Amino acid sequence: MKMKLFAVILAAALLCACGKAAESVSVSSSAVETAYNLPDGFVYVDDVIPDVVLEMRYATAHNFTGAPMDGYNAEVCILTKEAADALKIAAQKFAADGWRIHIYDTYRPQAALDYIIAWGDSDDEACREEFYPTLTKAQLFTDGYLSKRSRHTRGSTVDMTLEDKDGTLIDVGGPYDLLDPLSNFDTPDITEEQRKNRYYIQAIMTEAGFDTIPTEWWHYQLRNEPYPDTYFDFPVE
C-alpha cells in the first residue's frame, strides 16, 4: 500500500512538472511514510487481499449524509489484522465460485459517528429519497439503523457485497446503506433468488468467523474481535 500511494503521488508530481518545466518538483518520502503509520494491530485490507474491490462510501459524498464524513481523509480500507485474515479466508472461498469481495466500509473512526449524530440533529434531508425513503431521521436512530456507538469503530467490522469478474454486483434485493426494512436480513419483500444470495454470503462469512445483524444484509463483524471494548478514533488515511 505504501508503495502504491508513493507511485501515485510521484506520478502526480511528474505531471505537474511537465506543465511547469521551469519549476522543480520534489516528493518527500518521509511525508508518505508519516501518512501511513497505522496503530499496532491494524492493516490495509488490500495489502492482505489484493483483488478486493474498494468503494469507500463514507470518504465520499455518496452516502446518506451527502458529504464525506469526518475522520475519513482517504478512500482506504482498514481492519484489525485478525479481521483482515478472516476476510481473506472468505475471499478465497468466494473466489472459487467466481466472486470478489466488494467493500463499502470497514474501520470507522468515532469522529464519523459524532458527525452522523450532528447530521441527525440537523434539518438536512437531501439524500432521503435514495437512502431512507420510508423513515424519518429520528426513526433511523430509534429503529437501530444508526447509533451513537458503532461496531465499526472497534475495527473488526466490514460492510460488503460481492461482484463477478465483469464488475456486476450480486443481486441481494436492495442497495448498500438503504436504511429501510428492505435491508433487514429476513425481509419478506425480496425474491427467493435474492434471499438465496444473502444466505450464500452469510454462510461463507459465518464459516470464516463473522456474524451479521438483523437490520443490514451487508454488515459482518468478527466474532472473536481483538478489541471488543475499545472504540478507536484514529483517522482513515
Model pLDDT for residues 142-167, shown as the tens digit of each residue: 998 999 899 999 999 999 999 999 99
Q: Tell me what the mean pLDDT of segment 23-32 comes to.
A: 33
Residue 231 CA to residue 198 CA, distance in Å, equals 29
For residue 110, give the amino acid letter: Q
- Dig out the grid coordinates for 13 from the structure: 508530481
> Is 129 in a helix, a strand, or coil?
helix
pLDDT at 31: 35
29: pLDDT strictly greater than 70: no
Report the Cα 236 to chain-centroid distance in Å: 11
pLDDT at 37: 87
> Is 210 in a helix, a strand, or coil?
strand
Measured CA angle at 199 (ends 86, 155), to 5 deg: 35
For the annotated catalytic residues, the residue numbers are: 216
pLDDT digits (tens, 9 = 90+) for 32-83: 334 568 999 999 999 999 999 999 999 999 999 999 999 999 999 999 999 9
Q: Tell me what the mean pLDDT of segment 209-230 comes to.
A: 98
Q: Higher-confidence residue: 26 or 47?
A: 47
Provide the terminal-to-terminal Cα distance of the chain, rounded to the nearest Å: 11
Delimiting residues of CATH 3.30.1380.10 domain(s) in the chain = 41-222
Residue 196 CA to residue 190 CA, distance in Å, equals 10
30: pLDDT strictly greater than 60: no
Contacts of 216 (CB under 8 A, 6+ apart): 145, 159, 183, 185
pLDDT at 3: 43
pLDDT digits (tens, 9 = 90+) for 93-148: 999 999 999 999 999 999 999 999 999 999 999 999 999 999 999 999 999 899 98
Residues 106-140: b if buried by 16+ CB within 10 A, e if exposed = bbbbbbbbebbeebeeeeeeebbeebbeebebeeb
- Dig out the grid coordinates for 231 from the structure: 472504540
- Tell me the pairing of strands 42-44 and 100-105: unpaired
Are residues 95 and 165 in contact, defined by beta-carbon separation less than 8 angstroms? no
- Domain over 41-222 is classified CATH 3.30.200.20: no
